[in-house]
Amino acid sequence: MVEDLVIGMAGSGGDGIVSAGESLISACAAMGYHAMMTKSFGSQIRGGESSCRVRMATGAVRNPGGTLDVAVALNWEDFLKFGAELPVGDDTLVLYEAKTGVAPDALPLDGVTPAEAVAVPIADMARTATGSDKGKSSVVLGLLAGWCGIGRDAILAGIRKKFAKKDERLVEANEKAFALGVQYAEAHPLATPRTIEPAVAGEPRMLTDGNDICAAAAIFAGCDFFSGYPITPSTEVMQLFTREIWKYGGAVLQAEDEIAGIGAALGASFGGKKAMTATSGPGMSLKTEIMGLASIAELPLVVVDVQRGGPSTGMPTKPEQSDVFQAIFSAHGDVVRPVLAPTCVSDTFEVTVEAFNIAEQFQTPVVVLSDQEIAQRKEVIEVIDTARFQVVERQRPDAAELARYERFRLTANGVSPVSHPGMQGGNYVGAGIEHDEHGDPTANGRVHQRMNEKRLHKLDPLRERDDLLRIEGDPSAPLALVSWGSTAGVCREALDLATAQGLRVKLLVPYLLYPVNERVYRGFFATVQAGLVVEQSYLGQLYRVLRMMVDVPAGLESFCRSGANPFRPAEIVRELQLRAGKESR
Amino acid sequence: MVEDLVIGMAGSGGDGIVSAGESLISACAAMGYHAMMTKSFGSQIRGGESSCRVRMATGAVRNPGGTLDVAVALNWEDFLKFGAELPVGDDTLVLYEAKTGVAPDALPLDGVTPAEAVAVPIADMARTATGSDKGKSSVVLGLLAGWCGIGRDAILAGIRKKFAKKDERLVEANEKAFALGVQYAEAHPLATPRTIEPAVAGEPRMLTDGNDICAAAAIFAGCDFFSGYPITPSTEVMQLFTREIWKYGGAVLQAEDEIAGIGAALGASFGGKKAMTATSGPGMSLKTEIMGLASIAELPLVVVDVQRGGPSTGMPTKPEQSDVFQAIFSAHGDVVRPVLAPTCVSDTFEVTVEAFNIAEQFQTPVVVLSDQEIAQRKEVIEVIDTARFQVVERQRPDAAELARYERFRLTANGVSPVSHPGMQGGNYVGAGIEHDEHGDPTANGRVHQRMNEKRLHKLDPLRERDDLLRIEGDPSAPLALVSWGSTAGVCREALDLATAQGLRVKLLVPYLLYPVNERVYRGFFATVQAGLVVEQSYLGQLYRVLRMMVDVPAGLESFCRSGANPFRPAEIVRELQLRAGKESR
Amino acid sequence: MSLPPNLTPQDFKSDLKPIWCPGCGDFGVLQAICRALAAIGRPPHEIAFISGIGCSSRIPGYTAAYGFNSVHGRALPIAQGLKLARPELLVLVAGGDGDGFSIGGGHVPHAVRRNDDLTYIVMDNQIYGLTKGQLSPTSPQGLHTVTSGYGSLESPVNPLLYVLAYGAPFVAQGTPADMPGLTAMIEEAIRFPGFAFVNVRSPCVTYGEADQQIKIHKTVMRRLEDLDHDPGNRIQALEKAETYGQALLTGIFYRNPAPRPTLGAVVRERQQQLMAGAAPRDRILDMFVQH
Amino acid sequence: MSLPPNLTPQDFKSDLKPIWCPGCGDFGVLQAICRALAAIGRPPHEIAFISGIGCSSRIPGYTAAYGFNSVHGRALPIAQGLKLARPELLVLVAGGDGDGFSIGGGHVPHAVRRNDDLTYIVMDNQIYGLTKGQLSPTSPQGLHTVTSGYGSLESPVNPLLYVLAYGAPFVAQGTPADMPGLTAMIEEAIRFPGFAFVNVRSPCVTYGEADQQIKIHKTVMRRLEDLDHDPGNRIQALEKAETYGQALLTGIFYRNPAPRPTLGAVVRERQQQLMAGAAPRDRILDMFVQH
Ligand SMILES: Cc1ncc(C[n+]2csc(CCOP(=O)(O)OP(=O)(O)O)c2C)c(N)n1
Ligand SMILES: Cc1ncc(C[n+]2csc(CCOP(=O)(O)OP(=O)(O)O)c2C)c(N)n1
Ligand code: SF4
Ligand code: SF4
Ligand SMILES: [Mg+2]
Ligand SMILES: [Mg+2]
């Protein structure tokens, strides 16, 4: 019995392989497993090839995993299109459509001989059960239930829920297809059993993805206004707002472009409301000017960038971590803009709430740097107790202050109480033009210097927020990993594996990428002789940003490559071992 | 007799103080002096206060200088508004309008007692000569001619040229006003003479500013198309194109915004023509997305950013060097974009030509990072011999290549010959979407990695271009300055002063800011124990970029502040001396 | 909340001295707006005045209201977000011809079709003032400027026709050469429920054309009311709008007799429907819980 | 230069297989364009096809011409720069309703008023296809989509009316439900000297509305030529354009009988005047020399 199972399935658009994955992961949630599901499609809008990976485990699941334990191919042409996304290895069980006519010992997997390969008459069973091949996905679920020992009732419940919307005959047909799959599995025991430990069904779980939970977190944090423009892979953030925000007396605007999107959000913030916009790289580029305006006008604003493959239009459906420079530096003039990054679906909630709190406390735009994988992968996670989170409001002027109000008063901490239209006595004119304490335009060099100082140093407390960076593993280890975003989930597993193999390793995961908490890094680096800064961008952007602010030990190298080339825990462990050798010599 | 004279004048809009400065600098050009003129105005579009500084010398003039040798105040209220821009010191000669009724020993200059102060009945003389106070500027020129020994004929010629356009009576009246000024000066010899060495009139000189010479350089380099949107302080670049480019069969488009501006320029480049756009910070922010498109589509394009005070609208008429991060990093995805910066009007020509050559050779957008001071100050410079400059054309496919053309073929050096519409056999579809060698869209991770590699490593030869960085002073000096843009001119003078004072100093001036020529910096840093990276931005942006790529000696500190707070040679020398102390200890 | 019983135009002026050139038409626009606001009587702190960048866009700074002198061309998006977030405010939007119809031109049709209750005042001087005299989208073809030394090659934008084509329910044109008329139409535009557009031919005395100055306007302007124009007739309005660039017609080109509800109104309706029985914010994650 | 004596539609197709959904209206648009180009007979390498981003904007990749599948909403600026730099090329521009009238909407009026010789084809499916079914600016009010679960609150853009108001000399509307009609109007648009706009109601079979599919178009479409419409009459054209959203009128709404010269033509004129006796490029600095 295993505790961790990685299943990958591929077929053509009509085969419903993705919906099979969805039934599977909701079954996992119901049974109390931890689970994670990623989808991948060809470039066709409809039809074409489609695939999904489901990783389920009795313990925490921190990334989609590496080589597949179970591979399901409804046809080989489509399966092979996914290459590295569905890697088959020596330990893999391969289930495939018998109709493909391929012999188990002649699978089209160059160089790899899987542990076991079983040709299954999936289409035939589907036809028997449903009279069409529409039932294939249910047959596959039956096979998995049978061979992997995943709770049948839970899967059946999922199937029922799905088809109930359509019609009753469909439900029965698919129940039949599922049953046939189960029977087939029972009739053909595996040479290499794949049964997973039963989960301790107990606590209810949440099932969601990074985009939905990001939008929900914003609403929890008090966001009343969203405005944005559709762009893959961020659009679901706006879509949730269009369903929910009205219920809280808020509003959402689908803008004519990204500039109007952030403009309207900034207008709402000028009006005293918490506001957000969400986009991906191309939209970030367009929002650059108004992000700068938000900084000098000192208005809170949360900007979500769900990173995808770049540059330019790049690869809209693939993950990459290459917007770090853009998020931090894309502004003319001297600007410091806080940038936060979640590492999984669950902490996307915390990070988003934190983003609103920082925006409000410091009257600044804040970027949440998510990525396509976190944003669009579904996870079964522990229920989040919102009571643990505190919500911060911007400091407003009191009566005394309003009596002689100066919007940009030079206070000790650089934060000036902010009024908004409707507040009597708080009248002021916001501007992107440099201004004095009262808000009047100026071209005076001394005032400019003082105002830059105010705007930049008000953020100093952020550099002290040690809770926004997490250090895991042996604190005095000579080997180190630094990683962020979705890649951090891979490094967390690599840390455990390497430690289990006797390496002395630690991992630093920054949730606040910028401004850089120099003290924490210095402390972390103190014991480091070798290691890796792991990120999915060709230029290794976070590594460069760290060099800017801190002295990075020579042995800590950038380990990076372009998006759509996901890191796997095993390879990171290998790299660590190489360096462990060096470091001990 | 002095060899170097810094004159500062201020009055109200109507006083024609700036046109006096212009007559003066064109006289300098005619007489063979080196000279530099900067202007400064209040925020009013018309009227309000206005001022100018003219620095003239028998030798090279590398910056506007520090404390004034001669200050001219037509009224004190306006003069004082310019504060640090017109600094009066103990050695200054102050000439001012007698009508102001201020006693020479009671000038409104807190703390400072100038070497000599003379109240002159400027307005009265003007009235006598012209019957109005329109003649004030000519009187002032007369006084300067008389007291500083600046060639009268040359100045008179300038005056004639200016008023000839209007009418003959005006010419006579202003000649008269000038004569009265001269007579007054002769009748009232100075206690502290200010006569300047006569210049060796010989070679003709050029008189222009950074924006005009930038546009002219582009046309010389073969630029056929300009498209942009007006923005201070860059608009004069477009304005010259609208006058000249038609003469070369080219065209200019005043676009509806900066996005259309760079878009149209990119379209022309796609068409095989050399193209340029120019803007300032806010426009750079808007051009971000299409700059990224130019990088992935591998099309040559020159983008001029005339920096001004930021962030956002900031201080449009003031210089700052705070767009370094933006110029280098504002793109989503992994992009490396060459960034060049001129240091004065004259080398703006070389830098602009180089920008076109680099753009063509490497099929990349290139940013020219000018600033308000260089762009709008007038300089008298040596005539530039265009024969010294070579013009590069993009590599085009030959017949063999066209027979089976692959637009993005992976060549050894990463540069693929580029066709353009009209070229038979070269047909391809450019795209911002990631693409294979043929140009077809792809979402394949391996192809993406290879294409990023191609686009980024094709620029490697730039990192070897030692000629794009200049090292001056004692190569083995323990004290160092690093500076760029207009500030480099200040550091060059500081280098000479410090050396004259016996300090062992050297100066590195990068014309290519990015990519970073690591070898040159390492070599330069090798002997450095202490020094300064001097730049006019609050964050010291170039210093941070250097840290990213090279190990910067601990003793080399960032010496920076916000724009509109110009550095003066003397203060840099002071800073060097402090460190010289340390470093010798 | 104690307010001066009745407000005077002076109550809507700030103490910041305008940096406009002496004689600039924008002084008149400022005056007309302050008079209209005084007549309407909302206190300054309940008014938000959003602008872009340009000489004209400086105007919020010269009023006592809340203001946002934002970035070039983006006043309308900012104003729409503000109005949606705070429907109770009186929101004015202003800027130049370049701000509104060049860089900002892409936002106008969408502001119009969303139809929130905004008043958009363009100070149309047919030139770029702040940047010292370049072509503007409304500059006449053939005009010689610092960016068109041989004459402009482009036929100009027609602000009135565009905004009518976008479906605006209220479209007017005025000039500071007729202060009572300008003040009246601005007041009516503000009172109009929905998107109201006022194109003010506000002369630039420094870079503007000689025939676009107050003195000339006084002689050439013609009031629509004197041309028995029916402001309720959209086709008539379109035809009259076609004269932009030839004639100077002032007054209300179009006022929709049966205006559709504003965006704010339909949003409020939707909120009221959906707010009943919604989970509180701290229970929003319940939607993800599996049982 | 040896060219196939006469070109067939096939000569204008690339070998890239379209990723469009089976049945997508864009297949028909591609076919119509290739037929029109074959009729015109310029070889593919003298044609440049510029688009933005969207399902529709993929179209240049499926032709054998030079193409630029640029970024969302910027096809027109890129095409204008290209055409000014290389007037000898045949330049086509295409994209979706979102590409052209949402994010790209600010560029349209300026492309029209500059009037260079471009043909702009919008594949108007009244939805965002590539991003999977959000509201588009031409989506009807009340439409339920993934971004308007309770129905859209905004009244739609009217592409025909907008572009006419901008002063376009050629405006037409077609549908792949009438291939001969669509092909003919695209050919005429390309041959027209000046800015020509063709709005193609190209159905999205995956996210589009049921009543916006080819089958329905066939039944509801009405040809302007059957309504004795005078394409030379601008006011008639404006009135007919007002029907966008209710009726589906196809054909040529407006064709200026006396079109003004194109931007390219006046630019060439200016160049010829000024090129005579200009200093060579290597003497351009002479303008700064003082004697
Ligand atoms: C993004 C951006 N582009 C350009 C500018 C420069 N700029 C400031 S105002 C202006 C246009 C001014 O013309 P208009 O909008 O008609 O206002 P006016 O000054 O005539 O009242 C321009 C181009 C800017 N500030 N920001
Ligand atoms: C700057 C930018 N914003 C948003 C997107 C995402 N995006 C791609 S296509 C598209 C709109 C598609 O609709 P349309 O233009 O009508 O074309 P269609 O797919 O319907 O043919 C959007 C919003 C993008 N690629 N770039
Ligand atoms: S430049 Fe023109 S628009 Fe600007 S303030 Fe002066 S007169 Fe008014
Ligand atoms: S989604 Fe719609 S527009 Fe896009 S290819 Fe499919 S049918 Fe065509
Ligand atoms: Mg204007
Ligand atoms: Mg569409």
How long a stretch of residues is chain C?
Answer: 291
pLDDT, position B462: 98
Q: Looking at the predicted structure, is the pLDDT value of residue B455 above 60?
A: yes
**Ligand 2 binding pocket mutation candidate from D26, D76, D97, D99 (most atoms within 8 A of CB):** D99
Please check the confidence at residue C1 and state whether its pLDDT lies above 70: no
Q: B172 falls in which pLDDT band (50, 70, 90)? A: very high
Position in ligand 3 atom list of the atom nearest CA C125: 3
Task: Tell me: pLDDT of A353 over 90.
Answer: yes
Residue A222 has pLDDT above 80, yes or no: yes
Put the strands of the sheet holding A274-279 in their side by side order: A251-254, A223-228, A274-279, A301-307, A365-371, A339-340, A512-514
Nearest Cα of chain A lies from the Cα of D39 at a distance, in angstroms, of 31
CB burial class (10 A; 0-12, 13-18, 19+) of residue B132?
Answer: exposed
Predicted confidence (pLDDT) at residue C2 exceeds the cutoff of 80: no
What does the pLDDT average to over C245-266? 98
Residue C87's pLDDT band (cuts 50, 70, 90): very high
Mean pLDDT along residues D174-183: 98
Given a cut of 50, whether residue C248 has pLDDT beyond it is: yes
Amino acid letter, residue C86 = R
Contact yes or no for D66/D45 (Cβ under 8 A)? yes
**Residue A47: its pLDDT value, please?**
77
| pLDDT > 80? residue A45 | no
Subunit contact A431:C64, Cβ cutoff 8 A: no
Residue C15, classified by CB atoms within 10 Å of its CB into exposed (0-12), middle (13-18) or buried (19+), is exposed
Q: For position A585, what pLDDT does the model report? A: 43
Which segments within A211-298 are labelled E, that is strand?
223-228, 251-254, 274-279
CA distances from D254 to C35, C165, D229 (A): 45, 16, 9
**Residue minimizing CA distance to atom 26 of ligand 2:** D72
How do residues A294-331 score in pLDDT, each as one tens digit? Answer: 999 999 999 999 999 999 999 999 999 999 999 999 99
* Cβ–ligand 1 contact at C98 (below 6 Å): yes
Instruction: Find tokens 């008269």 and name the residue.
Output: B176
Mean pLDDT of chain A: 95
Q: What is the mean pLDDT of residues B317-330?
A: 97
Per-residue pLDDT band at A166 (split at 50, 70, 90): confident
Q: What is the mean pLDDT of residues B499-519?
A: 98
The pLDDT assigned to A582 comes to: 62
* CB < 8 Å to B230, chain C: 128, 131, 134, 147
Residue percentage of chain D with pLDDT more than 90: 97
pLDDT exceeds cutoff 90 at B495: yes
- Say if strands B49-57 and B4-12 run parallel, antiparallel, or are unpaired: antiparallel
Per-residue pLDDT tens digits for B179-200: 999 999 999 999 999 999 998 8
Is the CB of C74 less than 8 angstroms away from the CB of A253? no
User: If you take atom 8 of ligand 4, which residue's CA is the nearest one?
Assistant: D24
Which residue among D102, D103, D129 sits closest to A45, beta carbon to beta carbon? D129
Band (pLDDT 50/70/90 cuts) for residue C270 is very high
User: From the CB of C194, is ligand 3 less than 6 Å away?
Assistant: no
pLDDT of amino acid C277:
83
User: How many angstroms separate the CA atoms of A530 and A532, rounded?
Assistant: 7
Q: Write down the pLDDT at residue D2.
A: 47
Residue A83 has pLDDT above 90, yes or no: no
Whether B583 shows a pLDDT value over 60: the answer reads: no
Average pLDDT (A467-493) is 98
Q: Give yes or no for residue B454 having a pLDDT over 60.
A: yes
Under the banding of pLDDT at 50, 70 and 90, the label for residue D1 is very low
Residues in B touching A81 (Cβ below 8 Å): none
Per residue in B224-272, pLDDT (tens digit) is: 999 999 999 999 999 999 999 999 999 999 999 999 999 999 999 999 9
Min CA distance, B498 vs chain A (Å)?
Answer: 27
Find chain B residues with C-beta within 8 A of A288's C-beta: 285-286, 288, 326, 330
Report the percentage of chain B scoring pLDDT > 90.
91
| pLDDT 10s digits, B337-387 | 999 999 999 999 999 999 999 999 999 999 999 999 999 999 999 999 999
Question: Residue C283 has what pLDDT?
Answer: 97
Amino acid at B499: T
- pLDDT tens per residue, range B59-104: 999 999 999 999 999 999 999 999 888 999 999 999 999 999 999 9
**CA–CA separation, A309 vs A280, rounded Å?**
10
Q: Which residue of C has its CA nearest to A246?
A: C271
In single-letter form, the type of residue at position A426 comes to G
Contacts of A41 (CB under 8 A, 6+ apart): A48, A49, A50, A51, A317
Distance C206 CA to ligand 3 centre (A): 6
Mean pLDDT of chain B: 95
pLDDT of the residue at B203: 81
Q: What percent of chain D has pLDDT over 70?
A: 98
Percentage of chain A beyond pLDDT 90 is: 91
Instruction: Write out chain A residues lying below 8 Å of C57, CB-based.
Output: none
pLDDT at B585 over 80: no
User: Out of A137-141, A410-414, B80-84, which region has the weakest mean confidence (pLDDT)?
Assistant: B80-84
Predicted pLDDT of residue A467: 98
Chain B interface includes D113 (CB < 8 A):
no
Range A398-412 average pLDDT: 97
In this predicted model, what pLDDT tens digit does every residue of B139-148 receive, in sequence order?
A: 999 999 999 9
With CB atoms and an 8 Å threshold, state whether C148 touches B47: no
Query: Please, what is the Cα angle at B217 between B39 and B508, to 5 degrees?
Result: 70
* D-contacting chains (≥3 CB pairs under 8 Å): A, B, C
**Pocket perturbation via mutation, ligand 3, pick of C17, C19, C20 by most ligand atoms within 8 A of CB:** C20
**What CA–CA distance (Å, rounded) separates A22 from A87?**
21
Cα end-to-end distance, chain D, whole Å: 52
pLDDT at A583: 52
Q: Is B11 close to ligand 1, i.e. is its CB under 6 Å away?
A: no
Tell me the DSSP string of B215-257. Answer: HHHHHHTTEEEEEE---TTTHHHHHHHHHHGGGGT-EEEE-SS
Residues with CB under 6 A from ligand 4: A 45-46; D 20-21, 24, 26, 55, 125, 129-130, 204-207
Omega before A311 cis (within 30°)?
yes
- Identify the pLDDT of residue D5: 59
Q: Is D278 on the interface with B (CB under 8 A)?
A: yes
Q: Which residues surround ligand 5, an ion (CB under 5 A)?
A: C 96-97, 125, 136
Q: Which residue of A has its CA nearest to C283?
A: A386
Tokens 């329109």 belong to B134
- Neighboring chain C residues of D114 at a CB cutoff of 8 Å: 153-154
How far away is chain D from the Cα of C173, in angstroms, using its nearest Cα?
A: 18
> Rounded CA gap, D229 and D224, in Å?
6
pLDDT at residue B45, as a whole number: 77
Closest CA to A297 of A333, A255, A249: A333
- ipTM score for this prediction: 0.97
